[in-house]
Amino acid sequence: MKWILCPVCNHKTRNKIRHDTILENFPLFCPKCKQETLIRVKKSKVILMEEPDAKTQSQ
């Protein structure tokens, strides 16, 4: 078990994952940023789905 780190500020969040945890489109709340970021977790790696202030229209 390990704590999920906020992908924005790298602060510890209140969510834990196991080495085999799989999350998809998980709204991770960071107590430091006080905002939610959408993440996915696979093989204990946290991948940021979308950045909170990203307004990209590229495709």
33 touching Zn ion, by CB under 5 A: yes
49 touching Zn ion, by CB under 5 A: no
Distance CA(24)–CA(39), nearest Å, equals: 7
CB of 30 to Zn ion, least distance (A): 3
C-alpha distances out from residue 25 to 30, 40, Å? 15, 6
30 touching Zn ion, by CB under 5 A: yes
Confirm if 27 and 41 have CB atoms less than 8 A apart: no
Q: Which of 14, 18, 32, 42 binds Zn ion (CB under 5 A)?
A: 32
- List of residues contacting Zn ion (CB under 5 A): 6, 8-9, 11, 30, 32-33
